[in-house]
């Protein structure tokens, strides 16, 4: 690889870091080509990209970014970077599930909104429900008191109607 090709790769990786809301560094030591292809396919379905590059190129690509000092120590051994523009929790779930199924794939670290996160934080992120489920839970929480109030008011009206009906029945007798 000549100097121009390396510079193109560095620029591409730098752009990916800048354009992505989150990224995940995964260890790939001993991973088969089929396993990598399956992981790429599942990540692509969620809009994420898996990039493999030399560690020195990764360090050069991130040296001008705000997170360079924090993330550079994780560029060791055989790694790949997963870039995600959206759905950080969904991507973390895919990577976490794949790492449980294949012991050669390991979670190393990641970034979310230019903040470095470690392996336990990624696992916690993977355990969170999806955005749609969280939205439904919030709406349900907001809606519950209103529904309860409507039920109580409805029962009060029904009790009044029942009392009036009983009074009417007594007057007819």
pLDDT at 49: 92
pLDDT at 17: 87
pLDDT at 80: 92
pLDDT at 68: 65
pLDDT at 154: 85
pLDDT at 42: 92
Average pLDDT by stretches of 10, the chain with 173 residues = 88 89 91 90 91 90 79 88 89 92 90 89 88 86 85 86 88 82
SS3 of the chain:
CCHHHHHHHHHHHHHHHHHCCEEEEEECCCCCHHHHHHHHHHHHHCCEEEEECCHHHHHHHHCCCCCHHHHHHHCCCCEEEEEECCCHHHHHHHHHHHHHHCCCCEEEEEEECCEEEEHHHHHHHHHCCCHHHHHHHHHHHHHHHHHHHHHHHHHHHHHHHHHHHHHHHHHHC
The reply to whether the predicted model has a pTM over 0.85 is: no
């Amino acid at each position: 690889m000549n100097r121009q090709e390396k510079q193109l790769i560095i620029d591409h990786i730098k752009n990916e870091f800048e354009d992505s809301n989150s990224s995940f560094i995964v260890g790939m030591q001993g991973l088969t080509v089929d396993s990598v292809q399956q992981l790429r396919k599942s990540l692509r379905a969620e809009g994420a990209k898996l990039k493999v590059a030399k560690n020195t190129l990764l360090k050069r690509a991130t040296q001008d970014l705000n997170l360079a000092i924090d993330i550079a120590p994780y560029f060791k051994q055989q790694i790949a970077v997963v870039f995600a523009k959206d759905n950080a929790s969904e991507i973390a779930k895919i990577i976490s599930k794949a790492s449980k199924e294949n012991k050669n794939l390991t979670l190393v670290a990641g970034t979310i909104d230019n903040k470095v996160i470690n392996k336990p934080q990624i696992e916690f992120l993977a355990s969170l429900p999806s955005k749609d489920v969280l939205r439904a839970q919030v709406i349900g929480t907001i809606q519950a008191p209103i529904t309860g109030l409507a039920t109580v008011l409805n029962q009060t009206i029904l009790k009044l109607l029942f009392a009036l009906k009983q009074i009417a029945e007594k007057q007819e007798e």
